[in-house]
């Protein structure tokens, strides 16, 4: 069974953390343990590789071009980030299977608190009453992935209104606070990482 380590990073600069993920992935070998990085970021927009037709914000918040799939999204304090640095070949996973693990872990967490959430084939992420609560984005290099998921916990959602989140005009956002889930980010992070760990360590290795 491949090892899976959890790193608690606290509040981190996005660009610095991205560079660390890229370096980790470039330097890893067959014996490098997979890792989940738990963090949150100061306000920043990240612009994925699919940049055609993206509406850029005009509110002064920095926009960083990144190497994940997808279009534009927002990160800010009060949003839980779990970066997944996983050797997919070693775990006999493809990207679609990992996306399903991430989505199902989020859906199961919300269901445990009485919230019905769904995934969408046309727009990766997790939705409650057609509002987006979690976003996903991954990058694959030499069969190893990085980037991961973001879950809105208790944040200022206004910056999402200044873009078309993930390329969808009019996409409404929600968060756990507005769904009456009275848990701190640390508790939600612990729950989600445990669900992810169970799913990732029970795939055939």
> In angstroms, how far is CA 73 from the centroid of its own chain?
11
135 is in an annotated binding site: yes
Beta carbons of 163 and 57 less than 8 angstroms apart: yes
To the nearest 10°, the Cα dihedral for 95, 100, 103, 109? Answer: -130
What DSSP assignment string belongs to 58-110? -SS--EEE-SSSSSEEEE-TTEEEEEEEEETTTTT--HHHHHHHHHHHHHHHH
Distance CA 188, CA 9 (A): 15
**Binding site annotation covers 49?**
no
Residue 141 labelled as part of a binding site? no
Does the annotation place 105 within a ligand binding site? Answer: no
Find out whether 71 is annotated in a ligand binding site: yes
**Catalytic residue list:** 166
- Is 70 annotated in a binding site? The answer is yes
Residue 110, CB-side half-sphere exposure with 13 Å CA sphere: 27
> Does the annotation list 68 as a binding residue?
yes
| Residue 137 in marked binding region | yes
Question: From the annotation, which residues make up the binding site for substrate?
Answer: 68-75, 135-137, 148-150
Query: Residues at the annotated binding site?
Result: 68-75, 135-137, 148-150
């Amino acid at each position: 069974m491949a090892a899976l380590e959890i790193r608690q990073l606290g509040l981190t600069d996005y660009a610095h953390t991205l560079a660390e993920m890229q370096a980790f992935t470039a330097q890893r070998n067959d014996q490098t343990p997979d890792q989940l990085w738990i963090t949150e970021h100061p306000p920043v927009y990240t612009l994925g590789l699919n940049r055609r037709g993206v509406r850029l914000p005009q509110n002064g918040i920095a926009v960083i071009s990144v190497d994940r799939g997808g279009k534009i999204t927002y990160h800010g304090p009060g949003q839980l980030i779990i970066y997944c640095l996983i050797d997919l070949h070693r775990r006999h996973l493809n990207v679609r299977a990992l996306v399903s693990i991430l989505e199902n872990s989020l859906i199961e967490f919300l269901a445990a608190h009485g919230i019905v959430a769904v995934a969408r084939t046309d727009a990766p992420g997790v939705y409650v009453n057609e509002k987006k609560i979690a976003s996903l984005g991954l990058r694959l290099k030499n069969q190893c992935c990085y980037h991961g998921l973001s879950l809105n916990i208790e944040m200022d959602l206004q910056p999402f209104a200044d873009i078309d989140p993930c390329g969808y005009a009019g996409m409404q956002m929600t968060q756990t606070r507005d769904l009456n889930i009275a848990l701190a980010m640390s508790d939600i992070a612990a729950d989600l990482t445990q669900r992810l760990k169970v799913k990732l360590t029970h795939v055939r290795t």
